Structure 1
Amino acid sequence: MNAHHKPDAAPFLLRGDEAGIATLTLNRPQARNPLSEAMLAALSEAFTAIAADRSVKAVILAAAGPVFSAGHDLKEMTPHRADPDRGRAYFADILGRCSAMMQQITALPQPVIAAVEGTATAAGCQLVASCDLAVAGSDARFCTPGVHIGLFCSTPMVALSRNLSAKHAMEMLLLGEMVPAAEAVRMGLVNRAVPAGEALAEAGRLAAIIASKSAATVKTGKRAFYEQREMGLKAAYDHASAVMVENMLARDAEEGIGAFMEKRAPIWES
């Protein structure tokens, strides 16, 4: 293999597993980790595998290099403007694939924690917003800059509007300005900011806490959280009550409540 091809020989996505935690690392630092066709496929494949892997209790999503993710690969997308339909079919396909991958994160049984260093822009910011939790190094910055180039960040908007207040989401979308880590915490995009370079370690600490819980209970709770959020108040309470009844009858709840009453550590089934 000649030297020209060596950078592309590395996997687009790295996976490391330790103590029930799967760490996925976007691995195209020289290209700013874009959500290209290959990166989307690698992420989707990884989430499909993890969803079926009972040994994984939590997932960390990190990135190599100084940029978390610059979002869609405009260099890959723009040539399709020369297609007979001016790229309509291609744009619809790539956006559909990206949206499906973001929804895989929400549907995943295991919680996903973004560990962000550097910048997360456009669909890269959407990726952070789609994760269940997010930790940022103090130098991290977030942005939905599409408005600057005549392309409103409408798909990132879906994730942003479900995580931030309406005013904060619209501020990011309309202004397209970089939001520092501390401000991202205030806005609700990120759970906490830590010293630069420590996001992965803090995400690992949170993942370890989650991994110590009953996996069946965490799975039930995550699914119910996203289901009830899309409902009206009464429907949400009805749904959550039904979920809690089933949860109360589950083996791990019986064990956990018994352990609490007997002042001992619970032994989870999974």
Structure 2
Amino acid sequence: MAQTAQARPDTQAPPALVRAACSGGVLTLALSNPPANALSIAMMKALKGALDRARGDDDVKVVVLAHEGKVFCAGHDLKEMTAHRADPDWGRAFFTETMALCSEVMQTIVRHPKPVIAAVGGVATAAGCQLVASCDLAVAAHGARFATPGVNIGLFCSTPMVALSRNVSRKHAMEMLLTGEMIDAETALSFGLVNRAVPPEALNRTVSELAQTIASKSPLTLKTGKEAFYAQAEMGLAEAYDYAARVMVENMMARDAEEGIDAFIEKRKPEWKGE
């Protein structure tokens, strides 16, 4: 992702996550562990750390998850995992740690108070596809491809299945999981895995415009809405309406809601306080 402000190294994270720059309320985190941008233990810890810091940063309104190189993310680091076959337990403890950390990262994205947008300019497979599906929004360049190919190597993509099945139809999810075949950006758009598919030269601009549009909204409203969206999705219809009604009442009591309504009536731009 090109930046409007000079990118600064994230000195608190391992080299796997080297770009972290905030401009106009939009924080861009770029995965950089070429050639595959694999989700090694170091990469996942770096990503989670950056997301955790963004949670409490009032300057950050939206997070963009981008990548360096031709691959967005190829999933788990299979070489790292295979090396632990030599452990006394044949790798069980390390595999357990890897899957637990991966699940924690994905849930950190979903539970994050700031909207997270994936900017996908290359291949996203297995846990990399899971990463895209876990983001609130995703924009893909023409030429980007997606797959959950674990079935091809005797390892069903069970954890990617969680995010995938919550974002695309069951038939589409099962097709991806059972065949392991790649789908292109246009197919991913039709499946509902991404929001937009654009020419490669338009990816940065499209993501920036989308992020800036969202960043211009009340941060309190964004936090309230994102949390409510995922909470109600797990409820039955009646429970969801009861919950959403309570959220709506509390939202109406907020200073930003009062300001927003007043600004609408008075035909002026609102001044958000985040409260």
Q: Where on the TM-score scale, by shorter chain, does this alignment land: which range?
A: over 0.9
Once residues 21 and 139 of structure 1 are traced to their aligned partners in structure 2, the CA distance between those partners, rounded to angstroms, is 25
The correspondence for 1:21, drawn from 26, 43, 64, is 26
* C-alpha contact 1:117 1:197 (8 A) present in aligned 2: no
- Assess if the C-alpha contact under 8 Å between 2:14 and 2:46 holds in 1: no
3-state SS of the aligned residue for 1:101? helix
Partner of 1:183: 187
Provide the residue aligned with 2:4 in structure 1. Answer: none
Q: Which runs of 5+ in 2 are unaligned?
A: 1-12
Partner of 1:238: 242
Deviation per CA, 1:6-58: give whole Å up to 9, x if none: xxx9821110110110000001123x100001100100100110001111000
After superposition, where does 1:55-134 map in structure 2 within 5 Å? 55-134=59-138
Q: Do the aligned partners of 1:116 and 1:200 also contact (CA within 8 Å) in 2?
A: no
CA-atom RMSD in angstroms: 1.2
Kindly provide the CA deviation profile for residues 177-196 of structure 1, in whole angstroms up to 9, marking residues without a partner as x: 10100000000000000002
Deviation of 1:134 after TM superposition, in Å, equals 0.1
CA distance in 2, matches of 1:118, 1:178: 12
Give the percent of matched residue pairs that are identical in Structure 1 and Structure 2.
Answer: 62
* Cα drift, residue 80 of structure 1: 1.3
What is aligned with 1:3? none
**Aligned to 2:157, which of 153, 160, 168?**
153
Q: TM-score, normalised by structure 2?
A: 0.93
Give the TM-score, by structure 1 length: 0.95
Q: Deviations over 1:124-155 (max 9, x none)?
A: 00000000000000010000000000000000
Q: Deviations over 1:144-174 (max 9, x none)?
A: 0000000000000000000001001001000
Hey, what's the Cα distance between the residues in 1 that align with 2:140 and 2:175?
Answer: 20
Closer/same/farther in 2, CA of residues 22 and 266 from structure 1, 3 Å limit: same
Give 1:89 shift.
1.2
* SS of alignment partner, residue 227 of structure 1: helix
Of 44, 55, 70, the residue aligned with 1:51 is: 55
User: For residues 74-111 of structure 1, what are the alpha-carbon distances to aligned partners after superposition, in whole Å with 9 as ceiling and x for unaligned?
Assistant: 00001212222211111011100010011000111110
Answer yes or no: is the 8 Å Cα contact 2:144–2:184 preserved in 1.
yes
- The DSSP-based 3-state class of the residue aligned with 1:34 is coil
Contact 1:62 1:200 in 2 (8 A): no
Give the CA deviation at 1:175. Answer: 0.6
CA apart distance, 1:197: 3.7
More off after superposition, 33-42 vs 84-93: 84-93
